[in-house]
Structure 1
């Protein structure tokens, strides 16, 4: 198995999803099995590879407690792997799937704005002609939060508001933000733009000019 195949094996992704959700928290094999919903044998076998490669580190147990593991921040590719995890199986893919599955008729764009030191993801959702049901969005976020073991901070704004964000607005996606849903990824219609009086008059004048020519 190549390094790439190993890193993106389903068992590895499920364990790293749990570990990167709380990078400073030690987990016992039973904790990981419960949270990842993997058989204990698969967890034990995958942990050997993750510890052996330096991605996770072991902690000696105290008294009769079970041995635990956690993310090893000293791993040479820690930052890169954490970035990959955030942009794929640990955050982006689950959020994208939730929005495209439940809110495909209203969401036109979505971004992961960033992540704080506690692992909370800040999300920006831009809706089109119709606004997502607030109760349904809250329930979906709570369910997803439990699934990926991360807190979610969601901002929902209209497409018009998004297009009018000022450079210093905190919601304006920075270059480091990750766009997980782009225009055209869903079937959500954009709102019909209102034409101003001056634009309308110019349009009528242009039409009359063409007719008289």
Structure 2
């Protein structure tokens, strides 16, 4: 099995999702098995590979205590791997799946704005003609937070608000930051733009067409 195949294996992804959600915490094999729902034997084997690769570090414990491991921040590719995890299996994919399944008729676009030192993921959700139900969104994000072992800080705005952001807006600065990336693009869901917004787009197209003919 190649290194790439190994890193993309389901067992590795589940372990890294737990460990990278709290990189300063140490875990025993049994704790990781409970968190990932994997068999202890499979966890033990996967941990061994990750330790040999330098991704995890073993911690010294007393004789009567179980051996524990944690993320090795000194690993040369620690930052890159954590970024990859955030942009895929550890955050982006579960969030995208949740939004597409529960809010496909309201969410037009969605962005992960970044993750802070307390492992809080900041999320920007853009709705169209239908505004997501606040209680349903809160409950869905709360449930997902438990799965991800990360807190979600969520902003919900309209498409008109997104298009009206200026350089002075805090959200505009966060969207322009290197840490931000889009997880749902316009057209990925069934959500429709508001009639008012469509009218503005049509008006803009007519003006552009008139200018091109003049």
TM-score (norm 2): 0.89
Instruction: Report the aligned-residue RMSD.
Output: 1.7
Q: Which residue of 2 aligns with 1:192?
A: 195
Which SS does the other structure have where 1:90 is aligned? coil
Q: Does 1:182 align with 2:185?
A: yes
Q: Conserved in 2, the CA contact under 8 Å of 1:107 and 1:127?
A: yes
Query: Deviation per CA, 1:117-141, whole angstroms, max 9, x where unpaired?
Result: 0111000000000001111111110
Query: 1:171, 1:145 → 2: CA distance?
Result: 22
Q: Conserved in 2, the CA contact under 8 Å of 1:110 and 1:123?
A: yes
Q: Conserved in 2, the CA contact under 8 Å of 1:113 and 1:174?
A: no
- Structure of higher CA gyration radius: 1
Shift of 1:168: 2.5
- Gaps of at least 5 residues in structure 1 are 207-213
Residue pairs, 1:131-146, within 5 angstroms:
131-146=131-146
Query: How many pairs does the alignment contain?
Result: 200
Q: Conserved in 2, the CA contact under 8 Å of 1:108 and 1:126?
A: yes
Query: 1:8, 1:83 → 2: CA distance?
Result: 14
Query: 1:187, 1:3 → 2: CA distance?
Result: 38
Query: 1:63, 1:6 → 2: CA distance?
Result: 32
- Gaps of at least 5 residues in structure 2 are none
**Large movers: runs of 4+ above 6 Å:** none
Query: 2:190, 2:33 → 1: CA distance?
Result: 38
Greater per-residue helix proportion: 2
Residue pairs, 1:147-186, within 5 angstroms:
147-172=147-172, 173-176=175-178, 177-186=180-189
Query: Deviation per CA, 1:183-208, whole angstroms, max 9, x where unpaired?
Result: 10001000112668xx7xx99xx9xx
Query: 1:48, 1:190 → 2: CA distance?
Result: 50
Query: 1:64, 1:108 → 2: CA distance?
Result: 54
